[in-house]
Structures are given as C-alpha cells and as structure tokens.
Amino acid sequence: MSKNIFLKKLFKKKKYLNLESDSNEKIFNIYTTGICNWGNFNDDQNLVQSWKIYCRDQIISHIPDYYKIHIYHYDPILESSDQNKKKIIKYINKHLIPFDLKHKRVKVSEFHPLEFNHNLINLPNIIIDLAHIYTFHNDLMNKVSFYNENNSEIFNLNVLRFGFVPNMKISQLFLKNKLFDVDEEGNVRTYIDMLSFIEYDFDESEPILTIEKLLNQTTKLIENKISILKSENNEIVPTYKIRNIVKKFTNKDYIIAAIVTAIWDSSLNQQTIESISNNIIQVYITSILNMDLDV
C-alpha cells in the first residue's frame, strides 16, 4: 500500500468534525505546527498534553467572543513505519481532537499529517508554531522567515511562539498572560510584534528566552536588594545566605505578568525591571527584615 493511500484511509472518517458552520458565523482560525513531536508522548515531551493543559483555552480567550473557532493541527509525522503512524493517529484521535471539540466555541478541529503550508490558510488566523518552523525579526512586526534556512524571504504572518512548553517552566508561566490581541478587522498583534514595535531587542529564534532573561534580571535585583537590607555591621550578606528569603518572596507569576504588561504598555526598559523589584521589596519589607537568614 502506498504512503498516500495509507494516509487517505486513516483520515477518511469525519467522525470528529462538528457540523458545518453557519454561513453567517465569523470564524477565527488557529493553526498549529508539530504538535505530535515525532510521536514522543512522554511527559516532558508531550505537546498534546501541554496543548490541553496550558495552551488551548488561553489562546481562545484572546479571540473576541463573536468568533467561532476552527483549529487545524499540522504535523507530517515523519516516522519510519506505518505502525508508528497508526499509533500516533490513535493517540491524536483519542486525546487531541475530542478535547478541542469539547470547547463550546470550537466548531472544527482537524489533524493533517502534512507539512504546514502558510500559503493555504484562511484569515483571520493565528499560527502556533510548536515545530519551530519560523524565526522572527527584531525590527519588523508580523514578519517571519523560515528558521535555520539560507532563504531570507520574509512572510507576513501572525506567528506565535512561546518555547517548548512540556519542559520549559518559563513557557508554562508565560502562557497565563496576554499573548496576542485581535482587532475588529481581525488583525493580530502578538507580544513578539509588540517587542518589535517598542524596539526592544529580543531573541529572534526563541523570544520567550528574552522574557526569561528579564525574569532572571529582576530576580537578581531582588537578591541584591535583600542582601543590602539584611546587611550587618555594614557588611553585605552574601547571596547564598539569603537564598531561602529570595525563594519565598520572589513571585515569578507576578514578575512575568508585570513584564508582559510593560510590553503591551510600550513601557519596557531597565527602569521597569527596577520598579518591579522595588514593588516586591515594598510589599514584603516587614517579613524580609524579620526573617531569619538560617530558616
């Protein structure tokens, strides 16, 4: 049996599709790339589970309520045997498609065992690039190129990337925040577009690493400030001695939320990081001063 005939047979059934949408309904399209992750469904590699736990609901929450949602998952499932492909399809049909369709706004959820082709997508849309197909440009909004290729062609696409969610804690925390917005005409701006807009240099391959860097900078500032506050006889307390205090009062959720707010407010700069660290110190100043260093 040829590969094409095999795939056609696997995807001939439509049992997971909802009824066709009313012609008057406004549809917003979500596309994902690489959600099968080569068929690796172990806990720290399982993009399907991460989609269910961290991604789908948060992404839909950014789309105005007057849109119904169509979701299209693309992954060529490049496996060596038909048996492995069957296992992947079975997993997707059991764990992914039915889950999508449980959401009251999702009218269609489909899985396509094909490479994603951005020339064949519907507007309005957001592309959730789990496969790392694209790279971004610091100085260009809504513009991407193919990742890790010599081809420098630039495409006008709404691409959202937030790292490899199954084993990146920063991604899991970041997904609680504002990722993108959609205006009345269906135009999309992502947090990556906003970083370009405010001319804040970010990691073009993996923008979430810039958010992680800002988190670490803020944490370091907090450590330094607590060291000074806990100094004795004008001697600064070494950071390792205040480790437990720093862990207790460094709220990563709050820091990331404040960073994201600054991005969308076009106010992100070094003073912002200083202000975030100061706010945390002010809130917990009494507890910090009273906490034993050896606790």
Report the Cα 263 to chain-centroid distance in Å: 15
| Cα–Cα distance, 112 to 74 (Å, whole number) | 5
Amino acid type, 82:
D
* Nearby residues of 10 by Cβ (< 8 Å), 6 or more positions away: 85, 86, 89, 113
Residue 1: what pLDDT?
46
CB-side neighbour CA atoms (13 Å) of 75: 26
Model pLDDT, residue 22: 57
pLDDT of amino acid 240: 72
What pLDDT, on a 0 to 100 scale, did the predictor assign at position 70?
98
pLDDT tens track, the chain, 295 positions = 444 444 444 443 333 344 444 568 899 999 999 999 998 999 899 999 999 999 999 999 999 999 999 999 999 987 657 788 889 999 999 999 999 999 999 999 999 999 999 999 999 999 999 999 999 999 999 999 999 877 789 999 999 999 999 999 999 999 999 999 999 999 999 999 999 999 999 999 999 999 999 999 999 998 888 888 877 666 677 777 777 777 777 789 999 999 999 999 999 999 999 999 999 888 888 877 777 766 5
pLDDT of residue 150: 77
Question: Whole-angstrom Cα distance, residue 145 to residue 256?
Answer: 27
Cα distance between residue 258 and residue 265, in whole Å: 10
Tokens 């369709």, residue located: 101
pTM of the model: 0.87
pLDDT at 234: 63
CA distances from 191 to 180, 199, 272, 280 (A): 6, 12, 17, 24
